[in-house]
Structure 1
Amino acid sequence: MTFTHLVAPARDPTHRTGSAGGDDGPSLTDEETKLVCEFTVDAEDFVLAETVERVPEKTLEFEQFVPTGEHLLPYLWATDHDMSEFEAAAADDPSVASLRRVGMFDDGALYRVQWSDEADQLLTWIRERDVVVLQAETSGRDWLLKIRVDCRDDLSDLQTFCRDRDIAFTVERLYELTQPKMGQFNVSEKQRECLLAAKEMGFFEIPRASTLEDVADRLGISTRAASERLRRGQTNLLNNTLTIGEPTGIGVGENT
């Protein structure tokens, strides 16, 4: 299956598996960093467990949403299948209090969901903390979630929460939102400036309307620096857009 992903800025992502409690990276403080954690849980341990069991081949993903009060993950995309089949399964799902279709499209539908008091405990943990859900999607067997937290203590708390409730919890990727500043898709400010300049000058057109030397001259940097920024910027864009379904942990920083 394919999914549409929501991504966040990052710095030198580190791929690791296992619990979120380990800390073999740099020392961090709440004032200087936030963390993004991508982890998986079994489908039976998250909302819509019975729906996913009945329609395991279906594609489900939540819209990115910042918690406000009791409203968490209120919008759900359902694609690549008969909507009536999904709606019937969701209507019988104990985690769902109400489900309303708000939009119909060629490849699926967008729903507004209100969760019941029987919604899973993991949703409760997310709701009770200052956690931003950047991504939540299922392939039928498990859910992949990407959350943003303030510090490693939050992840340790999540690990303990899941362990105490026998929730299978595997960290797939953990990385910092800190210096050096990396923008959306892991592209640094210098890389972004160089990419945009190259685009505006027709460097990527066929045939090229400008040369690498032209781009470097416009930015006041060496040709070698321009070449490295373009290469690293394109690498970060590809690794965090086209290949985001299989996280690579790559975020190439700056030396020039």
Structure 2
Amino acid sequence: METVVDATIPDNRFVLAETIERVPDVEFEFVRFAIHSSSRTSPFLWGSADRPDRLDAALRSDPSTEHVSRLSERDGRGLYSITWNARAARLIDGVAEIEGSVLDVRRTTDRWALRFLFPDRATASETFQAWRDEGVDATLSRISTLSCREDTALGLSATQHNTIAKAFRTDYYSVPRGTTLEELARDFDVSHQALSERLRRGHSRLVERMLSESAPPVERRQ
């Protein structure tokens, strides 16, 4: 049964450790579909700090980066394109190349927080044991199983969950998309309109659940 795993990695066991040391208030969030593999796509991440200029300089001088470009800024966060050095690329690939899906990778407070979707608990256990064998000090903070009942742990019906999971696995949400809405509709033997409405209802439930479980961001003083 599909399993969601929340884990943490200490700052000094992943990438950008020197940047984090130089800019302690920094927050990072990998763009979800850039984390699949550093060798297949250029990694992008959002970064925010009280001193953006200081963050830019720290990223460019960080030993784990070879090239850094600030692409844009939105809501006080900068979008960065980063070329990693060989060691950092291996670490990112170690996170990305799992028998499952990377749902989220972000850094807040004093560690990196990661969320994964595995096909079952056994696969999750094997993955984290392999990481420990390689010296990656990942700590499991939460393990939850997605139920196939009509009301899942994420507030989705079984049909909504299966549809969103299929869309994710076939890169429907990536840019550019790996599949189209029409192709997904054919896979589920429903109309284009019916699948679109199913996805919208599922997305609405996920957003509602996320907002109910998270505090609003603290606004920075200008």
TM-score range, shorter chain: 0.5 to 0.7
Residue in structure 1 matched with residue 12 of structure 2 by the alignment: 44
Q: Which moved more, 1:143-152 or 1:60-69?
A: 60-69
Q: TM-score, normalised by structure 1?
A: 0.56
Q: Classify 1:90/1:181 alpha carbon distance in 2 versus 1 (closer, same or farther; 3 Å).
A: farther
- Contact in 2 for aligned 1:56/1:139 (Cα 8 Å): no
Choose from 73, 91, 95 the match for 2:60.
Answer: 91
**1:94 match: secondary structure:** coil
Matches within 5 A, 1:55-204: 55-65=23-33, 67=36, 70-71=39-40, 74-119=43-88, 121-182=90-151, 185-188=154-157
Which amino acid in 2 is paired with 1:242?
A: S
**1:37 match: secondary structure:** strand
Residue in structure 2 matched with residue 242 of structure 1 by the alignment: 212
Q: Deviations over 1:175-217 (max 9, x none)?
A: 2334015579424379xxxxxxxxxxxxxxxxxxxxxxxxxxx
Q: Percent identity?
A: 25
Q: TM-score, normalised by structure 2?
A: 0.64
**2:45 match: secondary structure:** strand
**1:186 match: secondary structure:** coil
**1:119 match: secondary structure:** helix
Length, aligned pairs only? 171
Once residues 74 and 137 of structure 2 are traced to their aligned partners in structure 1, the CA distance between those partners, rounded to angstroms, is: 35
Once residues 156 and 143 of structure 2 are traced to their aligned partners in structure 1, the CA distance between those partners, rounded to angstroms, is: 17
Q: Classify 1:242/1:42 alpha carbon distance in 2 versus 1 (closer, same or farther; 3 Å).
A: same
**1:118 match: secondary structure:** helix
- Contact in 2 for aligned 1:185/1:240 (Cα 8 Å): no
Question: Which runs of no fewer than 5 residues in structure 1 stay unpaired?
Answer: 1-32, 191-234, 246-256
**1:103 match: secondary structure:** strand
Q: Deviations over 1:3-39 (max 9, x none)?
A: xxxxxxxxxxxxxxxxxxxxxxxxxxxxxx3222110
Question: Which runs of no fewer than 5 residues in structure 2 stay unpaired?
Answer: 160-204, 216-222
**1:101 match: secondary structure:** strand
Q: Classify 1:88/1:181 alpha carbon distance in 2 versus 1 (closer, same or farther; 3 Å).
A: farther
Which structure has the higher relative contact order (CA within 8 Å, separation 6+)? Answer: 1
Q: Classify 1:84/1:131 alpha carbon distance in 2 versus 1 (closer, same or farther; 3 Å).
A: farther
Q: CA RMSD in A?
A: 3.3
Q: Deviations over 1:91-134 (max 9, x none)?
A: 12222222211112241211112222021754232233344221
Once residues 237 and 119 of structure 1 are traced to their aligned partners in structure 2, the CA distance between those partners, rounded to angstroms, is: 32
Computing the radius of gyration from Cα coordinates, the structure with the larger value is 1
Q: Classify 1:241/1:61 alpha carbon distance in 2 versus 1 (closer, same or farther; 3 Å).
A: same
- Contact in 2 for aligned 1:187/1:237 (Cα 8 Å): no
- Contact in 1 for aligned 2:27/2:48 (Cα 8 Å): yes
Which amino acid in 2 is paired with 1:160?
A: Q
Q: Deviations over 1:39-88 (max 9, x none)?
A: 01101111111111111211211121162672468121112422221111
Structure number with higher helix proportion: 2
Residue in structure 2 matched with residue 35 of structure 1 by the alignment: 3
